[in-house]
Amino acid sequence: MHEYSVVQALINQCEDIAKQNEATNINKLVCKIGVMSGIEIHLLKIAFDTFKEGTMCQNAELVINEQKLKLECRDCKKVFEIEEIRYYCPNCESLRVKVLDGEDMYLMSLEMN
């Protein structure tokens, strides 16, 4: 389960940011996770709850915003978000699409004190 290594890296990143800002506690993390990131959100939450003990994140709330797949058609130039995982334009049915968002995980914000 690679979510464990993702959570460990996330906690390390949060602690580094907190130390740079002279914070002693992290209260809330907001992450954006794309549907095509390969991360199982429920497993990530379990891993976070497991590994946050004894860290600056031990009392932190983890908020996850799931990012739909956002594509741009290279033919008709339409930009669209889709619920389903399909790489074609719903407007012109072209298969020539470019992924704009939905394949990554980002730490969007931290609340610290």
User: Looking at residue 34, what is its pLDDT?
Assistant: 95
Rounded CA-CA distance 14/1 in Å is 21
Structure confidence by residue, pLDDT tens digits, 10-55: 999 999 999 999 999 999 999 999 999 999 999 999 999 999 999 9
Domains of the chain (ranges; CATH) run: 3-112 (3.30.2320.80)
* pLDDT value at 59 more than 80: yes
The dihedral region occupied by 78, where left means phi > 0, alpha psi between -120 and 50, and beta the remainder, is: beta
Per-residue pLDDT band at 86 (split at 50, 70, 90): confident
More confident residue, 2 or 62: 62
User: Looking at residue 84, what is its pLDDT?
Assistant: 80
* pTM for this model (two decimals): 0.86
